[in-house]
Amino acid sequence: MKVKELGHIVLYVRDLERSRTFYGETLGWTEITPEEGLAFPAAAFSSGRTHHELLLIEVGPSAAPIPRGRRIGLYHFGLKVGESDDELREARDAIAAAGVRIAGATDHGVTHSLYIEDPDGNEIELYIDVQPARWKEDPGAMFKDPVARPLSL
């Protein structure tokens, strides 16, 4: 067996409508959930690359929060938002206008990244590829200069 690509992410959320607004309106994903809804409280989204890339499943307000700090499980997931720093600035301005706090901004050499959290505390990296030719020719390029630098946009 060989994995071909990362297909989709499924997240449990406390409040489906709150998360639907965040992922649909704030981040600009296209919701593909049928009008009659799903058989359970959920919403699906796609960028158009595949049938769905994100599925949100509501588990209610009493669900345990994500533990802070070092833990087992998901650290963050990355969403490519464009090809240039101008597009990353546009993303920064849009999320700031929506009241989303930027938790960090990093120059990884091959990417420029902003870090935010969704309403349930899942960390999301919004990024652009800075040197796509470099890492396409040498997939290990991102590890050759492991120093993450602060990013100024």
Residue 135: which pLDDT band, with cuts at 50, 70 and 90?
confident
Reported confidence tier of residue 64, pLDDT bands at 50, 70, 90: very high
The whole-model pTM stands at 0.92
Per-residue confidence (pLDDT) for residue 88, from 0 to 100: 97
Please choose, from the candidates 129, 97, 98, the residue with its C-alpha nearest in 3D space to the C-alpha of residue 113.
129
pLDDT grade for 115, boundaries at 50, 70 and 90: very high
Within 8 A by CB and 6+ apart from 116, the residues are 95, 100, 101, 102, 103, 123, 124, 126
Instruction: State the pLDDT confidence band at 58, using cuts at 50, 70 and 90.
Output: very high
What structural domains does the chain harbor? 9-58 (no CATH), 76-150 (3.10.180.10)
Sheet holding 54-58, edge to edge: 9-13, 54-58, 42-46, 30-31
